[in-house]
């Protein structure tokens, strides 16, 4: 089994190399003439006034948290879907109960307006 | 087969030279490396020519000619673009976090390439034939968001940060739709291995009559195909879901401060992701390398040719969509992802699951 | 032989990454080192033939949890100097917690020498770790599985209760209502008698 994962590790390294090589080449071949105006952050013509890292709407956190929870749900669904043909009606029903409990959460989320984007 | 014989000779050769322990290891390393280069090099070429095809196709749709100056029919245009970007300055903004700023484009391109490790190109032709292939693909597509977030934060520019936040929330929302849609594919295939998923589509009532294209997943799982493909468009931040770049409001989003090769990497990653999503759509829903009808005429094209043809059609669909639809508003994007796709996929999981419990199960 | 070498390489990367998470001055750097730590941890799980768990670790932790972490550290304007002030005050507590965790880990790891922890068995090539898990979770461990659903439900409710604040100042559009609008609700046709000068 591990032998099949070796090419994947190699591919990840190659993927990183494909990222690194052009940047190195670009840095070597391109000109390098820094200028305070050129290196200032882009701001549609006027001077940048305050730090760009501002506070954000809490809604973005909520989306991220809900994403984690549903991602976990997917992680639970995967082994189930792979063996659905073997575990029979009992396995099917136990997943339906699982989904029913989570649909309650989803409905709550929906009714509470957590999915509204104002 | 010639290739198998050649590989066997190579293995024997390396064993005789390097001994029983290091011989097979070296053989493994060399053959994998060659295979990876055989995937990555043509892929990069495809990415380059996809940009040309996009400009040509959208040009034709808008009754223009598209690029036609560099080389015959503009065929050398992508190479000219690449060379130009190579000789441009890589600008490091003053307030940027330098290390992360350089790292971001690399994080963007790595998952777009590494996911190809498990894609089956033809029967038995796959680099890493792992049992958890589908899971691996989902895990890697979920890494794409890092390049965007890190780029937006490291640039220390307002537009970049706004674009990164928008896109991060959008990408994670659509990952859920994709994940649930793939769960349904997995249910009917009964295997996480992508080659097995393709093979499973070649079985069934219609396939036994030679009409393979009616046995593919697109027919019984049509809603999931829609969810998967549209989520794929949103996941790659393509029009009409391109509020991340949103030229008319936040200029270029997370890429705004990037120039030269660092910018080119983001561009490469976007197009490589488009080809990846198209290939996965072909593998999951359109029978991968299989010919639509099992007859001598259709078998003239080799399996890899069929996969290529399907991917080409689906990629062109991405471009067509871009030419046709106006950009979505952000609240509409989030509504589509959370309120339509997720309930739809959940219902379909229950429906297909219940179907498989009945005697009319067609996926035995 | 190879496996042992790979294990030590991964373990070394993991430890260095873990140390960097704690010592990095910039919280975003710390988060990125944590991503690296998860990545190598997943590699080590793979060495133990836990295929599904290794990739699920990447999917859930790297793909989802760390994205949330990045959201939080990027947007919360954390003042690093202020955080560092509490270092010496909190050190004794941290040492106690760390010590207990280390003792527990040692107990688990030493299990091999007492013959507790079994080594992974050699399996056939088409053995699927995911399927094996699937056969057990939804049948033998169905109760634990449903409890997991209940915990996830509580998490959803808690997340919403903690973070959802209705904003009064924002103007919002309701696309469904916009689509449902009929002409009669918006336009009133009034027939006026023609004026004569």
**With 70 as the cut, is the pLDDT of residue C155 above it?**
yes
- CA of B64 vs chain A CAs: smallest distance (Å): 31
| C62 and C14 within one domain | yes
Kindly give, in sequence order, each residue whose CB lies less than 8 Å from that of residue B311, ignoring residues fewer than 6 positions away.
Answer: B275, B278, B279, B282
Say whether A78 and C74 touch across the interface (CB within 8 A).
no
Neighbouring subunits of B (3+ Cβ pairs under 8 A)? A, C
Q: What is the pLDDT of residues B82-92, one digit of tens each?
A: 888 888 888 78
Residue B105 β-bridge partners? none
**With 80 as the cut, is the pLDDT of residue C135 above it?**
yes
Both structure tokens of B295? 């007859």
| C152 and C104 within one domain | no
pLDDT band of residue C17 (cuts 50, 70, 90) is: very high
Residue C168 within a domain? no
| C80 and C1 within one domain | yes
| C3 and C26 within one domain | yes
| C108 and C45 within one domain | no
| C136 and C156 within one domain | yes
**With 90 as the cut, is the pLDDT of residue B31 above it?**
no
**Interface subset of A 13-52, CB within 8 angstroms of C:** none
pLDDT band of residue B16 (cuts 50, 70, 90) is: confident
Say which DSSP state C117 is in. S
A6 at the C interface (CB within 8 A)? no
| Range among B237-241, B318-322, C127-131 with highest mean pLDDT value | B318-322
Average pLDDT, integer, range B68-80: 84
Q: What is the mean pLDDT of chain C?
A: 81
For the ranges A39-43, B32-36, B143-147, which has the lowest average pLDDT?
A: A39-43
Q: Is the peptide bond before B193 cis (omega within 30 degrees of 0)?
A: no
Of C59, C74, C175, Cβ closest to residue B138: C59
- Other C-beta atoms closer than 10 Å to the C-beta of B296 total 6
Say whether C145 and A106 touch across the interface (CB within 8 A).
no
Residue C80: predicted pLDDT: 62
- Which residues on B lie below 8 Å from C62 (Cβ)? 139, 142-143
**With 80 as the cut, is the pLDDT of residue B206 above it?**
no
Average pLDDT, integer, range C61-72: 85
Question: What is each CA distance from A1 to B33, B246, C47, C49, C133, in whole angstroms?
Answer: 19, 45, 9, 8, 17
pTM to 2 decimal places: 0.86
| C80 and C101 within one domain | no
CB-based contacts of A61-64 (< 8 A; 24+ apart in sequence): A61/C68, A61/C71, A61/C72, A61/C163, A62/A114, A62/C159, A62/C160, A62/C163, A62/C164, A63/B169, A63/B172, A63/B173, A63/B334, A64/B168, A64/B169, A64/B172, A64/C64, A64/C67, A64/C68, A64/C71
Q: Regarding predicted confidence, which is higher, C77 or B132?
A: B132
- Which residues on C lie below 8 Å from A55 (Cβ)? 75-77
Residue C34 within a domain? yes
CA dihedral B149, B150, B155, B157 (to 10 degrees): 20
Across the A:B interface, residue pairs with CB atoms under 8 Å apart total 217
| C75 and C1 within one domain | yes
Residue C180 within a domain? no
From CA C128, how far away is CA C134, in angstroms rounded?
10
Concatenate the DSSP letters of all residues of A33-58 into one string. Answer: ---TTTTSPP-TTSPP-S-S-----T
For the ranges B124-138, B312-326, C126-140, which has the lowest average pLDDT?
A: C126-140
**With 90 as the cut, is the pLDDT of residue B255 above it?**
no
From CA C19, how far away is CA C34, in angstroms rounded?
10
| C78 and C36 within one domain | yes
Residue C102: φ, ψ to 5°: -65, -40
From CA B39, how far away is CA B115, in angstroms rounded?
11
pLDDT band of residue B95 (cuts 50, 70, 90) is: confident
**Interface subset of A 55-74, CB within 8 angstroms of C:** 55-56, 58-62, 64-69, 71-74
Neighbouring subunits of C (3+ Cβ pairs under 8 A)? A, B
Work out how many domains chain C is built from and give that number. Answer: 3
Q: Regarding predicted confidence, which is higher, B297 or B114?
A: B114
- CA of B276 vs chain C CAs: smallest distance (Å): 18
**Residues B117/B128, Cβ–Cβ less than 8 Å:** yes
Average pLDDT, integer, range B245-253: 67
Residue range of the domain that includes C154: 128-162
CA C73, C79, C80, C83 dihedral sign is negative
Residue A50: predicted pLDDT: 60
pLDDT band of residue C15 (cuts 50, 70, 90) is: very high
Residue C105 within a domain? yes
**With 70 as the cut, is the pLDDT of residue C109 above it?**
yes
Say whether A41 and B251 touch across the interface (CB within 8 A).
no
Nearest Cα to Cα of residue C149 among B79, B10, A94: A94
| C37 and C2 within one domain | yes
Q: For A62, which residue in chain C has the nearest alpha carbon?
A: C163
From CA B51, how far away is CA B268, in angstroms rounded?
9
Q: What is the pLDDT of residues A34-86, one digit of tens each?
A: 777 666 776 666 666 566 566 666 777 888 888 888 888 888 888 888 888 78
- Which residues on B lie below 8 Å from C51 (Cβ)? 130-132
Residue B125 β-bridge partners? B122
**Residues A63/B335, Cβ–Cβ less than 8 Å:** no
- CA of B341 vs chain C CAs: smallest distance (Å): 16
pLDDT band of residue C37 (cuts 50, 70, 90) is: very high
Residue B122: φ, ψ to 5°: -160, 170
- Which residues on A lie below 8 Å from B150 (Cβ)? none
Residue C95 within a domain? yes
Residue C18 within a domain? yes
Residue C101: predicted pLDDT: 92
Q: Regarding predicted confidence, which is higher, A116 or B180?
A: B180
Say whether A75 and C139 touch across the interface (CB within 8 A).
no
From CA B214, how far away is CA B206, in angstroms rounded?
6
Residue C80 within a domain? yes
Residue C97: predicted pLDDT: 94
| Range among B229-243, B294-308, B341-355 with highest mean pLDDT value | B341-355
Crossing angle between the packed helical segments C66-75 and B144-155, to the nearest 10 degrees: 10
| C109 and C60 within one domain | no
User: Is residue C33 classed as helix, strand or coil in its secondary structure?
Assistant: helix
Residue B277: predicted pLDDT: 92
**Most distant CA atoms of chain B, gap in Å:** 67
Query: Which of A78, A79, A96, A115 is most worth mutating to test chain C (most C CB atoms within 10 A of its CB)?
Result: A79
Q: What is the pLDDT of residues B212-222, one digit of tens each?
A: 788 888 888 88
| CATH number, domain containing residue C16 | 1.20.120.1200
From CA B82, how far away is CA B209, in angstroms rounded?
49
Nearest Cα to Cα of residue A32 among C58, B90, C159, C21: B90
Say whether A81 and B260 touch across the interface (CB within 8 A).
no
Residue C166: predicted pLDDT: 62
Q: Regarding predicted confidence, which is higher, B124 or B177?
A: B177
Q: Regarding predicted confidence, which is higher, A17 or B295?
A: A17
Question: What is the SS3 string spanning chain B?
Answer: CHHHHHHHHHHHHHHHHHHHHHHHHHHHHHHHHHHHHHHHHHHHHHHHHHHHHHHHHHHHHCCCCCCCCCCHHHCCHHHHHHHHHHCCCCCCCCCCCHHHHHHHHHHHHHHHHHHHHHCCCECCECCCCCCCHHHHHHHHHCCHHHHHHHHHHHHCCHHHHHHHHHHHHHHHHHHHHHHHHHHHHHHHHCCCCHHHHHHHHCCCHHHHCCCHHHCCCCCCCHHHHHHHHHHHHHHCCCCCCHHHCCHHHHCCHHHCCCCHHHHHHHHHHHHHHHHHHHHHHHHHHCCCCCCCCCCCCHHHCCHHHHHHHHHHHHHHHHHHHHHHCCCCCHHHHHHHHHHHHHHHHHHHHHHHHHHHHCCCCCCC
Say whether B139 and C32 touch across the interface (CB within 8 A).
no
CA dihedral B89, B93, B99, B101 (to 10 degrees): -80
Say whether A113 and C3 touch across the interface (CB within 8 A).
no
| C93 and C17 within one domain | no
Location of structure tokens 């973070």: C163
**With 60 as the cut, is the pLDDT of residue C117 above it?**
no
For the ranges B43-57, B151-165, B232-246, C156-170, which has the lowest average pLDDT?
A: C156-170
**Residues A94/C142, Cβ–Cβ less than 8 Å:** yes
Say whether B114 and A12 touch across the interface (CB within 8 A).
yes
For the ranges B108-122, B139-153, B321-335, C172-186, which has the lowest average pLDDT?
A: C172-186
Of B146, B154, B192, Cβ closest to residue C130: B192
Residue C72 within a domain? yes
Query: Which of A5, A51, A75 is most worth mutating to test chain C (most C CB atoms within 10 A of its CB)?
Result: A75
- CA of C91 vs chain B CAs: smallest distance (Å): 30
**With 90 as the cut, is the pLDDT of residue C96 above it?**
yes
Of C29, C58, C74, Cβ closest to residue B139: C58
Average pLDDT, integer, range B180-193: 88
**Residues B11/B24, Cβ–Cβ less than 8 Å:** yes
Average pLDDT, integer, range C72-77: 73
From CA B104, how far away is CA B253, in angstroms rounded?
14
């Amino acid at each position: 089994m591990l032998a099949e994962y070796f090419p994947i590790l190699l591919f990840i390294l190659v993927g990183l190399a494909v990222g690194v090589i052009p940047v190195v080449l670009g840095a070597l071949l391109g000109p390098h003439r820094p200028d305070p105006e050129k290196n200032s952050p882009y701001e549609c013509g006027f001077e940048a006034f305050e730090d760009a890292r501002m506070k954000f709407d809490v809604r973005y956190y909520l989306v991220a948290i809900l994403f984690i929870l549903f991602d976990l749900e997917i992680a639970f669904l995967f082994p189930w879907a792979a063996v659905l043909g073997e575990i029979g009606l009992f396995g099917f029903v136990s997943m339906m109960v699982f989904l029913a409990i989570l649909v309650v959460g989803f409905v709550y989320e929906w009714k509470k307006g957590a999915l509204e984007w104002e | 087969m010639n290739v198998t014989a050649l590989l066997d000779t190579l293995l024997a050769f390396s064993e005789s030279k390097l001994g029983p322990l290091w011989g097979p290891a070296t053989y493994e390393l060399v053959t994998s490396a060659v295979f990876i280069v055989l995937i990555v090099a043509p892929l990069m070429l495809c990415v380059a020519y996809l940009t040309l095809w996009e400009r040509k196709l959208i040009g034709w749709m808008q009754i223009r000619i598209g690029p036609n100056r560099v080389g015959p029919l503009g065929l050398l245009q992508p190479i000219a673009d690449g060379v130009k970007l190579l000789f441009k300055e890589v600008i490091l903004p003053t307030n940027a976090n330098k290390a992360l700023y350089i790292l971001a484009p690399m994080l963007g391109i790595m998952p777009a390439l590494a996911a190809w490790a498990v894609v089956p190109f033809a029967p038995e032709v796959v680099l890493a034939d792992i049992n958890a292939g589908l899971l691996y693909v989902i895990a890697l597509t979920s890494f794409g968001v890092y390049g965007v977030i890190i780029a937006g934060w490291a640039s220390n520019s307002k537009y970049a940060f706004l674009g990164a936040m928008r896109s991060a929330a959008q990408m994670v929302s659509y990952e859920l739709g994709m994940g649930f849609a793939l769960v349904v594919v997995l249910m009917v295939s009964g295997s996480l291995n992508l080659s097995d998923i393709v093979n499973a589509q070649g079985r069934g009532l219609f396939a036994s009559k030679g009409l393979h294209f009616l046995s593919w997943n697109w027919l019984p799982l049509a809603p999931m195909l829609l969810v998967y493909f549209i989520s794929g468009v949103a996941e790659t931040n393509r029009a009409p879901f391109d509020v991340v770049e949103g030229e008319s409001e936040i200029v270029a989003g997370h890429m705004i401060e990037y120039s030269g090769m660092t910018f080119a990497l983001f561009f490469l990653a976007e197009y490589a992701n488009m080809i990846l999503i198209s290939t996965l759509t072909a593998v999951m829903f359109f029978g991968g390398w299989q010919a639509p009808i099992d007859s001598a005429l259709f078998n003239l094209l080799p399996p890899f040719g069929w996969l290529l043809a399907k991917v080409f059609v689906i990629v062109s669909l991405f471009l067509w969509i871009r030419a046709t639809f106006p950009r979505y508003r952000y609240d509409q994007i989030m509504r589509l992802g959370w309120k339509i796709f997720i309930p739809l996929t959940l219902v379909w999981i229950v429906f297909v699951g219940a179907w498989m419990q009945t005697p009319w199960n067609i996926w035995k | 032989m190879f496996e042992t070498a790979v294990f030590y390489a991964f373990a070394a990367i993991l430890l260095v990454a873990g140390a960097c998470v704690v010592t990095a001055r910039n919280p975003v750097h710390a988060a990125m080192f944590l991503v690296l730590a998860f990545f190598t941890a997943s590699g080590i799980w793979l060495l133990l033939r836990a295929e599904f768990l290794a990739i699920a670790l990447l999917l859930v932790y790297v793909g989802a949890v760390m994205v949330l972490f990045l959201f939080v550290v990027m947007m919360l304007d954390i003042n690093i100097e202020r955080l560092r002030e509490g270092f010496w005050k909190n050190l004794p507590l941290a040492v106690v917690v760390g010590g207990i965790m280390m003792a527990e880990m040692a107990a688990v790891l030493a299990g091999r020498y007492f013959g507790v922890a079994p080594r992974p068995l050699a399996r056939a090539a088409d053995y699927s770790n995911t399927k094996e898990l699937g056969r057990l979770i939804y049948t033998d461990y169905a109760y634990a599985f449903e409890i997991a659903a209940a915990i996830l439900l509580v998490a959803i409710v808690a997340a919403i209760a903690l973070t959802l604040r209705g904003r009064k100042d924002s103007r919002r559009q309701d696309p469904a209502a916009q689509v449902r609008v009929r002409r009669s609700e918006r336009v009133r046709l009034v027939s006026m008698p023609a004026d004569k000068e």
